[in-house]
Amino acid sequence: MTTRKTPDRTPKGADPRATAVLVSLEFGKRDATARAEEAARLVETLGARVGEVVTGKRDRPDPATFAGSGKVDQIRDALRLHNSQTAVFDQALSAAQVRNLERALGEGWKPVRVYDRTELILEIFASRARSHEGKLQVELARLEHQSTRLIKGWSHLERQRGGLGKTGGPGEKQLELDRRLIGERVKKLKERIAKVVRTRETQRSGRHRSGMLRVSIVGYTNAGKSTLFNRLTKGETLVADKLFATLDTTTRRLWLANDATAAISDTVGFIQDLPHSLVAAFRATLEEAVQADVLLHVVDAADPLRDERISSVNEVLEEIGAGEVPQILVYNQIDRVPGLEPEIVRDAHGKILNIKASAATGQGVPLVREALLELAATGGSPLASAA
């Protein structure tokens, strides 16, 4: 038996959308347990709960259903047991696989909605976007993702046609209509986001002319970036123990000492296998990292997968063109790691390698300010390679 069940059960009559069955299959590549745990947190971020985790091992994904017929039967049984109509896969699926799964899992039952990892992250971004800019970027990401998944018989867009524009004549095939409508909306969104980019470039130019040190806080989602930002700036950016609590970039002026100040930006959190459509759509926001003089790369020091998290963040930074921007690694949450004390770690030449701190308690935060003051005083001289 390859199904791991949680001890509690969904009450009879519970909202079938509030409980999901999570599917985590291992193909011998990455730590399946860690991936499943992260997917469960993504589900919880949307306000749902995981009623059951269906696990298993395969040599390769099944072309039709990803999971294979036997595993599909197990997933269907789990959905019925929990009165759930939502199945979540912690990896990416093809459009055909999603369609086949929804048909198979709903057979003799109720309509079932299947989310893969990409759809789940897009759904979270859509639910979290608050600013006009953030909403534009999320809508663009969702539409561009959908445009790559249009296949004959695909019906997910039917509910949204009213908001995409005018429909074509009776002779226009539905697939062609969907593609045309999405294309028109994508074009409009890109034009509106381009205006946002120009506004941000004007603001950045002003800060650059002032000689102000430009700092961007980056890191894996839920590593404590916003908590550090608030500690440094006495700001009130939303802090929550949820993935992607911050979507909109916030920039504040940070006083360092005497006449030295910095412009510091809090950015959206990164995640392993962040959908390319999101990276592309949020390029206007992430441009703050590209244009920064230095990146504060916040890492959860208590995370056993911190090295993998660092690599995932660096991959996204490379993708957006910020791979060469100097970094200071900030090992955060040292209060959760016995034996770690606040300190600035330097190489043999005295250049900064990393800083150990706790944004939650304030330990080591003055050291972060001290490091930024040092950079501001030296004109943002190159840092040592991250270690």
Q: Give the C-alpha separation, 49 to 10, whole Å.
A: 10
Number of Cβ within 10 Å of residue 309's Cβ equals 22
- Least Cα distance to 86 among 48, 35, 127, 54 occurs for 48
Q: Give the C-alpha separation, 313 to 307, whole Å.
A: 10
Write the pLDDT tens digit of every residue in 173-184.
777 878 888 889
Q: Give the C-alpha separation, 342 to 331, whole Å.
A: 9
So what's the pLDDT on residue 52?
Answer: 96
Q: Give the C-alpha separation, 293 to 210, whole Å.
A: 13
- Taking 60 as the threshold, does the pLDDT of residue 1 lie above it? no
- Taking 90 as the threshold, does the pLDDT of residue 166 lie above it? no
Dmax (CA) of the chain: 73
Residue 380 in 3-state DSSP? coil
Write the pLDDT tens digit of every residue in 45-90.
888 999 999 999 999 999 999 999 999 999 999 999 999 999 999 9
CB burial readout 80-111, b (16+ within 10 A) else e: eebbbbbbbbbbebbebbbbbbbebbbeeeee
More confident residue, 178 or 187: 187
Query: How sure is the predictor about 247, in pLDDT bands with cuts at 50, 70 and 90?
Result: low
Radius of gyration of the chain from its Cα atoms, rounded to whole angstroms? 23
248 is in an annotated binding site: yes
- Taking 60 as the threshold, does the pLDDT of residue 169 lie above it? no
314 is in an annotated binding site: no
Write the pLDDT tens digit of every residue in 191-210.
888 887 777 667 656 555 55
Query: How sure is the predictor about 160, in pLDDT bands with cuts at 50, 70 and 90?
Result: very low
So what's the pLDDT on residue 245?
Answer: 59
Q: Do 211-377 and 3-115 fall under one CATH topology?
A: yes
Per the DSSP assignment, residues forming a β-bridge with 385 are: none
Backbone angles phi, psi at 54, to 5 degrees: -95, 120
Query: How sure is the predictor about 365, in pLDDT bands with cuts at 50, 70 and 90?
Result: very high
Q: Give the C-alpha separation, 328 to 295, whole Å.
A: 6
Per the DSSP assignment, residues forming a β-bridge with 9 are: none
So what's the pLDDT on residue 75?
Answer: 97
Which 3-state string (H, E, C) describes 345-363? EECCCCCEEEEECCCCCCC
More confident residue, 149 or 379: 149
User: Which CATH fold topology does 211-377 show?
Assistant: Rossmann fold (3.40.50)
269 is in an annotated binding site: yes
Average confidence (pLDDT) over 138-152 = 79
65 is in an annotated binding site: no
CATH 3.40.50.11060, domain 3-115, yes or no: yes
300 is in an annotated binding site: no
101 Cα distance to chain centroid: 25
332 is in an annotated binding site: yes
222 is in an annotated binding site: yes
247 is in an annotated binding site: yes
152 is in an annotated binding site: no
Which pair of structure tokens corresponds to residue 301?
Answer: 């020091």
- Least Cα distance to 120 among 162, 91, 155, 143 occurs for 91
268 is in an annotated binding site: yes
- Taking 90 as the threshold, does the pLDDT of residue 97 lie above it? yes
323 is in an annotated binding site: no
Q: Map out the domains of the chain as residue ranges.
A: 3-115, 211-377
Q: Give the C-alpha separation, 66 to 92, whole Å.
A: 10
Query: How sure is the predictor about 11, in pLDDT bands with cuts at 50, 70 and 90?
Result: very low
258 is in an annotated binding site: no
Across the chain, mean pLDDT equals 82
Write the pLDDT tens digit of every residue in 124-133.
888 877 778 7
Write the pLDDT tens digit of every residue in 101-136.
999 999 888 899 999 998 888 888 888 777 787 788
94 is in an annotated binding site: no
More confident residue, 11 or 353: 353
115 is in an annotated binding site: no
272 is in an annotated binding site: no
219 is in an annotated binding site: yes
